[in-house]
Amino acid sequence: MDMLLKLRSIQELMGHDVIVLIGAPCSGKTTQGKLLADALDRPYLSPGSLFRAEVTKGTVLGQQLAAYMNSGETIPNELTTAFLTIKFSDPLYENGMILDGYPRSVSHLAVLENILANLGRRILAAVYLDVPKAQLDERRVRRGRTDDNATTAERRYAIFKEDITPLLNLLDLKKKLLKIRYTPESSEEVLRRILIELAAFKS
């Protein structure tokens, strides 16, 4: 099956459902999320970017979010549920979407599945980008994002590792998990591997 046929197969399988990308900070999930969205002709949505935009605006929600983001803590579910429900209800996303960086924990997964079920949708697949910590640290230093100082980054990574194992186990149990292991290759080649895995995927 050539790549064009693979893309059509994934689009048909996806329908109006959601593909999520999961990975540690600096794992490349944003890059892959945008590439995947473009390849599959689906909108890309990053809750993390939406949250950072709220912080920049200085809204009440943004001030609450900033306290958690600056300390590396996980944002509480009650702050995300109503916010994401409103966003996901936008007609832009009615034919599915590529969701970057959420869920990050088992409790997040329950929230997301509930939101999607209320909208008549589901998670088709969760793509996990498995990148070693040495590569994550190197990318973090190169990127230099303001909420990525060394202390905060280490705390974020520790929380990520604590939360991610049970999440991956549950996604695997639900037959939703696709694990893409790190290799030193171009973003386009990583995307190609993701598409090949998705084309062979049966949720």
Spatial separation of the C-alpha atoms in residues 109 and 81, rounded to whole Å: 11
> Cα dihedral angle (158, 156, 87, 55), rounded to 10 degrees?
160
Spatial separation of the C-alpha atoms in residues 121 and 102, rounded to whole Å: 16
> Residue 115 corresponds to which amino acid?
I
Please report the pLDDT score of residue 92 as a whole number: 92
Mean pLDDT computed over every residue of the chain: 87
Please report the pLDDT score of residue 201 as a whole number: 80
Please report the pLDDT score of residue 150 as a whole number: 72
Chunked in runs of 10, what are the mean pLDDT values of the chain (203 residues)? Answer: 80 90 90 95 91 86 83 78 86 93 91 93 95 83 65 79 92 96 86 92 66
Please report the pLDDT score of residue 202 as a whole number: 64
Cis peptide before 103 (omega within 30 of 0): yes
Task: Specify burial of residue 24 (Cβ count, 10 A radius: 0-12, 13-18, 19+).
Answer: buried
Please report the pLDDT score of residue 5 as a whole number: 83
Helix (H) / strand (E) containing 148: none
CATH numbers and ranges of domains, the chain:
3-198 (3.40.50.300)
Task: Specify burial of residue 27 (Cβ count, 10 A radius: 0-12, 13-18, 19+).
Answer: buried
pTM of the full predicted structure?
0.83
Angle of helix 47-57 relative to helix 77-88, nearest 10 degrees, comes to 100
CB 42 within 8 A of CB 96: yes
